[in-house]
Amino acid sequence: MKPITPLKPALELAQSRRRFPNESPAYRDARNALLAEEIELRRHVERVAAQRRALPPGGDVPDDYRFDGEQGPVTLSQLFGPHDTLITYNWMFGPQRERPCPMCTCLLGAIDAEIPDITQRVSVAIVARSPVERLTAFKRERGWRYLPVVSSGGNTFNRDYGGEAPDKGEDSAGFNVFVRRGGRIIHTYGDEFTFEMADPGQDPRGPVEYMPLWNLLDLTPGGRGTDWYPKLSY
């Protein structure tokens, strides 16, 4: 086993040589302290990612779900394509909705451009219960070029892997990860955060920030704010 190299203390690493015009000593001291926290945050993200990868195998998928795809019927096993790993996203665009969830739409718009890169390593499918014609029509409306969308209106995938209750008109968002091992398809990871897990005053969200929107706004003095959310149009 390769020996683990001890990490330098974050405060020791956080000695930036960069200086900006007219910055004060107080700014530099505070910025270096923040840089140390950013280093610790990066390290924590790495630890969480390693712990996620080290999870034991989850449950075998109970069904080779049949979806309606953009090119016709397709099964879960076929969604893997040439890869052994499949990432799915439950898109909140059930048949009870006139328009899809704005937050999901914001996230998917950012992911669309990354699909050619992501699919070099894994396969991706965006799943919603609306008819595939509605999904593809909205995809064209937004100018999405790469996101593969499939309808789960004829199966129980969203209920099984999203906790949805279609009979109550509910849908929920979330990522799931599956791997293919021989003739088995195994679930390895799924979002489990709920609104009740948010800390006081915090906008409910999952353990990792997937949305570039929030990451960029968090760089600013005003942050993401408490009275604004993405919209489908402006």
Mean pLDDT, residues 53-62 taken together? 95
Which of 52-61, 84-93, 193-202 shows the lowest mean pLDDT across its residues? 193-202
φ, ψ (nearest 5 deg) of residue 73 = -60, 145
Comparing 56 with 170, the larger pLDDT belongs to 56
Comparing 67 with 166, the larger pLDDT belongs to 67
149-171 burial, b for 16+ CB within 10 Å, e for fewer? bbbbbebebbbbbbbbebeeeeb
Which of 2-16, 42-56, 114-128, 132-146 shows the lowest mean pLDDT across its residues? 2-16
String of DSSP letters for 120-184: TTSEEEEEESS-HHHHHHHHHHHT--S--EEE-TTSSHHHHHH---GGGT----EEEEEEEETTE
Which of 34-38, 67-71, 181-185, 213-217 shows the lowest mean pLDDT across its residues? 213-217
Distance (Å, whole) CA 62 – CA 186: 9
**Residue 2: its pLDDT value, please?**
65
pLDDT tens string 16-32: 889 999 999 999 999 99
Mean pLDDT, residues 153-166 taken together? 92
- % of the chain residues with pLDDT over 70: 97
Mean pLDDT, residues 102-125 taken together? 96
Mean pLDDT, residues 131-148 taken together? 97
Label residue 208 by pLDDT band (50, 70, 90): low
Residues pairing with 149 in the sheet = 126
Closest CA to 80 of 64, 97, 94: 64
Average pLDDT value for the chain: 92
Judge whether residue 60 has pLDDT over 70.
Answer: yes
Sequence letter at residue 206: G
Neighbouring C-beta atoms of residue 67, cutoff 10 Å: 22
Judge whether residue 43 has pLDDT over 60.
Answer: yes
Kindly tell me the sign of the dihedral angle through the C-alpha atoms of 157, 162, 166, 172.
negative
Closest CA to 72 of 146, 27, 22, 132: 132
Structure tokens at 34: 């923040």
Spatial contact of 101 and 136, defined as CB atoms under 8 Å apart: no
**Residue 206: its pLDDT value, please?**
64
